[in-house]
Amino acid sequence: MNIGIAGTGYVGLVTGVCLAEVGHHVTCLDVSQEKIDMLKGGHSPIFEPGLDDMLQKNIREERLHFTTDRSEAYENKELIFIAVGTPEGENGKADLSYVKTAAREIAASITNDVVIVTKSTVPVGTNEMVEDTVKAHGSAYQVHAVSNPEFLREGNAIHDAFHGDRIVIGGNHQPAVEKVAELYAPFDIPIVRTDTKSAELIKYASNAFLATKISFINEIANICEITGANVEAVAQGMGLDKRIGTQFLKAGIGFGGSCFPKDTKALTSMSAEAGYEFRMLNAVLEVNELQHNKLMEKANEYSAIEKGTKAAVLGLAFKPNTDDTRDTPAIRIIEELQRQGADIVAYDPIATDKMKEVFPDLTYTNSLEEAVNGAETAFIITDWAQIKEQTPAFFTKHMKRPLIFDGRNCFDPGEMVSGGVHYHSIGRSGNS
Ligand code: NAD
């Protein structure tokens, strides 16, 4: 099929590359000339394992094109995807301005009947709004909007595109729904067909549920710390019950990233607008806020930071295998360390450039050894393999004072303590 895609971020680009890989002809549009120039040259502006190779292959085989020209992206297309951002707006509401602009631009450029597929995470009623916007802008063509929310996990996005658990397609015009289903036939992933509003809500409900699991286990971790239980043992014992499951029961310093915080807030705000108070989600967000402070609370109890203390911040991305630093817990920790006058070195194997947009004047390194060298305290924010593979000896050798506050439970507390490290983690006994 001939496909246009608005937005070449994490979602739009991965969607475009994977649809081209299964044989569709895809033109990706972005408003950022810089991104499009990079992409035309076969380089992805985001880090995603496997993406560059697949990108280059499909450009070479002429199924994948990049442009800033709306006519090229939207003329003569059977399907047009909207994959623009829906960031947090006022009072936690999803900011739909990019989606509205894309809809207006599509209306002005299409040259035939088309199905608009909304991949962006959008509140209930948005697909209806997209259809109305196109109609209001006087398009002479028939347009049907179909909700097709994205479930990729950054860092596993290519794998997820081909082996996802489900594809959700929601629409009120059956032929349009079937057209989208046909597009995905080569992926061999179960398809959930539903009405538009339910599809829109499936995405928010899924993310909010996962966020709830995280806040739940973090509260259990806090009880473990008070009572002397071990959150990992508790999580394993709970998770082996198939009704509960082992995933998303890893205690830590709370969720971040470009989706869980904003989507949980958007669902809370959408519910409030509909006249319903989503009490549980308010608590999930509150717990997450408190959890972000956990490492600094522990450091303060220990009086770990004084003016000029050399502090290493290990990991900046909100999770491993991505360069995404949006809403990462590292931001809060760095702000607090700066406030307390610490001398910070920030380490991440790939996300330092993205973090420079937030803290341009920080000292960065992509060498773990350089980060901990001479440090008096280290804060582990991201469970990168490069960090987890270290032994206590690495820290005792390079740090001036081997004092570690681990927000991701990367190490066995017993091994760290017997290896001479003063080690504090989340929800586990045996810390020194
Ligand atoms: P992103 O910010 O990385 O990318 C959005 C892109 O859209 C940017 O490159 C921007 O320049 C471009 N854009 C903005 N207006 C445009 C326009 N009028 N025409 C063409 N391009 C335009 O965002 P993302 O992380 O890819 O997320 C996109 C949507 O998908 C959001 O709604 C998000 O919630 C959802 N989502 C994201 C993920 C994820 O892991 N990142 C997963 C599932 C769903």
Task: CATH number of the domain at 59, please.
Answer: 3.40.50.720
Contact (Cβ atoms closer than 8 angstroms) between residue 131 and residue 110: no
Q: Which of 67, 258, 260 to mutate to test the pocket of ligand 1 (most atoms within 8 A of CB)?
A: 258
Model pLDDT for residues 262-292, shown as the tens digit of each residue: 999 999 999 999 999 999 999 999 999 999 9
**CA dist., res. 267 & res. 150, Å (int):** 16
Q: Kindly state whether residue 332 falls inside one of the protein's structural domains.
A: yes
Q: Are strands 25-29 and 64-67 parallel, antiparallel or unpaired?
A: parallel
Query: Residue 237 has what pLDDT?
Result: 98
Task: CATH number of the domain at 276, please.
Answer: 1.10.1040.10
Give yes or no for residue 139 having a pLDDT over 80.
no
Residues 39 and 145 in one domain: yes
Give yes or no for residue 109 having a pLDDT over 90.
yes
Residues 86 and 56 in one domain: yes
The arrangement of strands across the sheet holding 310-314 comes to: 363-365, 343-347, 310-314, 377-380, 403-406, 422-424
Q: How far is CA 192 from the centre of its chain?
A: 23
Atom nearest to 29 CA in ligand 1: 20
Residues 256 and 376 in one domain: no
Residues 175 and 27 in one domain: yes
Residues 128 and 208 in one domain: no
DSSP state of 187: G
Question: How far does the centroid of ligand 1 lie from the alpha carbon of residue 251, in Å?
Answer: 29
Position 430 confidence tier, pLDDT thresholds 50, 70, 90: low
Q: Which of 5, 8, 11 to mutate to test the pocket of ligand 1 (most atoms within 8 A of CB)?
A: 11
The count of other CB atoms within 10 Å of the CB of residue 236 is 12
- Choose the final residue of a domain: 132, 165, 194: 194
Number of domains in the chain: 3
Atom nearest to 105 CA in ligand 1: 18
**One-letter identity of residue 76:** N
Annotated catalytic residues are: 259
Q: Kindly state whether residue 279 falls inside one of the protein's structural domains.
A: yes
Residues 362 and 336 in one domain: yes
**3-state DSSP assignment of residue 330:** helix
Of the candidates 10, 407, 45, which has an alpha carbon nearest to the alpha carbon of residue 18? 10
Q: Which domain holds residue 174?
A: 2-194
List of E strands, 148-261: 167-170, 191-194
Query: Residue 428 has what pLDDT?
Result: 94
Of the candidates 10, 22, 7, which has an alpha carbon nearest to the alpha carbon of residue 81? 7
**3-state DSSP assignment of residue 97:** helix
